[in-house]
Structure 1
């Protein structure tokens, strides 16, 4: 009997951080043997990486889930995953609304997708929304472009602006180490990428949560120093970043 590889499809809603998360999760899926399917109706695993900022995007998720839930009644082996901010916000309530879903996982758990799926394939229905330390990703993302790439440098946000739900759904700030970021940038340079976009919900807060201060009392790790460090190892046409908070915009950052 011929054994065919299982296929997956990811639909992404929302911001650049979600797009980067989807690329990492696609890399994890391919690392465990899945192949990309352009058509979700031909996929064995469907993942919706969701956004809760706009109600329209959230309602689209439930509409898409409704269609695939009907399909799952005809194809019980279909695996349905809801990731991202709607998953984090709704948690168990999402399973009550769409009980056909196999895995509900918040943004902090994106790098744990492989481990979570191991449990799903053992017959478990999971909700993974508890706050955790974001593990460093060792799987290469399945990048959508061969020219430009996303690189996360900080996750979450501590600001808690009254109009914004991000700290509740993406958690508090967690910075990646400079060494991990430099290693990823060096690899992208070797692969021929010409443009990098550094990502963080509040990117100019980078390093505040990492240990160490300078003799002048400044955080040892910060965005200007990271930019200088990156500039010394890469010769790309452009390094961008998103998004910033005006509170942390300094002359030193502008000069960098």
Structure 2
């Protein structure tokens, strides 16, 4: 792809995790020299960050893809990307349904967007859906708000509830370190952000995959410990967290919510 007039558009479906992933992918694209296009038809790279929880959102993706696939037949330099949970679930089947696609990538690969696109620009058609360890990403997201921000604290879910596809498309639980989370929040505080929402598909499971056990036999790092650890970050005035699983919503966590004044009186329990 020529470096001249490179413009991108991202359409996001689904949960807060997808919104956070889209902000990060937008940051990667702008680091690569792309500029935001207000409409997909004005973009040279169109990315759909997809959701497979609701059938309506999934069908919209296929409708939008059909329009852009037709456009690509007339404009071969157009780059088409499907990311997120539909990409993870369908994988190579998406290429058979929409052969004009250049890149199909699951949510675990969001911070690898630049390297995947480099392969696309070298002539490859890429499907990236294999399980990976999610590395810390230092890319500056293109955030949609100047006041509130998403901060991922744990990726994936191990619960495998019979009605839920999330573990199949988001992978196993992977917690970020408390130090990395606090560092991101400190940066947000310096940039003038006032409210942070800590994100996880099952945020109460935070720390179960991190090393260490206390003398009482509990995990050394838990969501409760994390909330105490980040509560005094300068500049941040309000902290929320989502999404909680009732099984892990402990009395210790409830006491922390009562004791920490920056925590909003808001529980997200589906």
Provide the TM-score with structure 2 as the length reference.
0.93
Structure 2, unmatched stretches of 5+, are: 257-270
Matches within 5 A, 1:1-256: 4-256=4-256
Offset at residue 135 of structure 1 (A): 1.4
CA contact (8 A) 2:193 2:235 kept: no
What CA RMSD, in Å, does the superposition of the two structures yield over aligned residues? 1.1
Q: Distance in 1 between matches of 2:182 and 2:22?
A: 21
Q: Is the 8 A contact 2:109 2:129 kept in 1?
A: yes
SS across alignment from 2:157: coil
Range with greater deviation from structure 2 (79-88 or 237-246): 237-246
Give the corresponding residue for 2:261: none
Once the two structures are superposed, what CA deviation does each residue of 1:102-143 show, in whole Å capped at 9, x if it has no partner? 000000000000010010000000000000001111100000
| C-alpha distance in 2 between matches for 1:127 and 1:4 | 26
Distance 2:238 2:82 in 1: 34
Q: Is the 8 A contact 1:204 1:245 kept in 2?
A: yes
Output one character per residue of 1:22-44: Cα deviation in whole Å (capped at 9) or x when no partner.
00000000001100000110100
- Deviation of the 1:236 alpha carbon: 2.8
8 A Cα contact 1:9 1:38, kept in partner: yes
Matched residue pairs, number? 255
SS where residue 11 of structure 1 aligns? strand
Find the aligned partners of 2:177 and 2:237 in 1 and give their Cα distance: 24
Would the alpha carbon gap of residues 3 and 177 (structure 1) be closer, same or farther in structure 2, given more than 3 Å must change?
closer
> Any idea what SS the aligned residue of 2:116 has?
helix
Question: What is the CA-CA distance between 1:3 and the residue it aligns to?
Answer: 6.7
Cα distance in 2 for partners of 1:225, 1:30 equals: 35
Q: Which runs of 4+ in 1 moved over 6 A?
A: none
Shift of 1:211: 1.0
Post-superposition offset of 1:234: 3.5
Query: How many angstroms apart in 1 are the aligned matches of 2:61 and 2:152?
Result: 25
Residues in 1 aligned to 2:231 and 2:196: alpha-carbon distance in whole angstroms: 12
TM-score (norm 1): 0.98
Q: Deviations over 1:68-121 (max 9, x none)?
A: 000001100000000000000000000000000000000000000001001000
Note the C-alpha offset of 1:6.
0.2
Give the Cα–Cα distance (whole angstroms) in 2 for the partners of residues 232 and 254 of structure 1. Answer: 18
